[in-house]
Amino acid sequence: MFNLRNSCIAVFGALGLTALPSMAVAAEANLQPNDFVGISFWLISMALVAATVFFFIERDRVQAKWKTSLTVSGLVTLVAAVHYFYMRDVWISTGETPTVYRYIDWLITVPLLMVEFFLILAAITKVPTGVFWRLLIGTTLMLVFGYLGEAGYINVTAGFIIGTFFWLVVLYEIFLGEASRISSADASPAVQSAFKLMRNIVTFGWAIYPIGYYLGYMGSGVDSGTLNIVYNLADVLNKIAFGLIIWHVAVTESDA
């Protein structure tokens, strides 16, 4: 049943959120009409706010066992929306790449995205907690080593190689490991197809970030404006579309 109280909390929470950065960052500069990177930050910020409200309101529509998955989707877009406000201000007022905000955002949202694989399986069958921990720890280490390399604490190439190793660890888990076996053996057709779509996103959608790292720090260099636009668009796929796949399977299974 539609729950007015929850919906109001989601909508007013989201509105309050949009006021945050203007209070914290004295943004002297305004968005210029030819600043396409800044415009992409704005667009994606708003899309993330809308997605957050949507996921939280849609929780009311699904069975209890699917609610956690939608909560997590909403938290991912909520955390990303707040970071996008700050990243947008950094870009608009300094023209610099907001790397540290990106990594803080990733450090929270990426493990949460990965845990969604566990959650959609756990909604329909028994899943050992080892799956949860491997997905969570694998993604966290991937990001920590990427950051250490990018920030200069360890060798750039070492950060890339070790980070990529942990990405492969989570890919193994969802393509060949226990999570993948549970999906093919025990999941309903709707959950199986969501699982497959989601792991393709983790393969192809996620590849954009290590490619950006490689080009920016190890290859011939890359224009920071282009890189930010590409990352911003990638986040639409990897955070919003990913959440919509989960929403779709939750609604399908609840109505079945």
Contact residues: ligand RET, CB under 6 A = 106, 109-110, 113, 142-143, 146, 160, 163-164, 167, 206, 209-210, 213, 235, 238-239
Quote the tokens at residue 25.
Answer: 């960052």
What is the smallest separation between the CB atom of 105 and ligand RET, expressed in angstroms?
Answer: 7
What is the smallest separation between the CB atom of 203 and ligand RET, expressed in angstroms?
Answer: 10
User: Which is closer to ligand RET, CB of 47 or CB of 124?
Assistant: 47
- Which residue has the closest beta carbon to ligand RET? 146
User: Which is closer to ligand RET, CB of 55 or CB of 167?
Assistant: 167
- State how far Cα 32 lies from the chain centre: 28
User: Which is closer to ligand RET, CB of 9 or CB of 218?
Assistant: 218
What is the smallest separation between the CB atom of 93 and ligand RET, expressed in angstroms?
Answer: 23
User: Which is closer to ligand RET, CB of 10 or CB of 79?
Assistant: 79
- Give exposure, 117-126, as e/b (b: 16+ Cβ within 10 Å): bbbbbbbbee
What is the smallest separation between the CB atom of 137 and ligand RET, expressed in angstroms?
Answer: 15
User: Which is closer to ligand RET, CB of 173 or CB of 235?
Assistant: 235
User: Which is closer to ligand RET, CB of 48 or CB of 182?
Assistant: 48
Cα gap 92→41, rounded to integer Å: 9
What is the smallest separation between the CB atom of 3 and ligand RET, expressed in angstroms?
Answer: 28
Q: Which of 123, 6, 20 has the alpha carbon at shortest distance from 66?
A: 123
Cα gap 229→231, rounded to integer Å: 5
Radius of gyration of the chain (CA): 19
Amino acid letter at 228? N
- 30, with CB counted inside 10 A (0-12, 13-18, 19+), is exposed
What is the smallest separation between the CB atom of 82 and ligand RET, expressed in angstroms?
Answer: 13
Asked whether 70 and 62 are in contact (CB, 8 A), the reply is yes
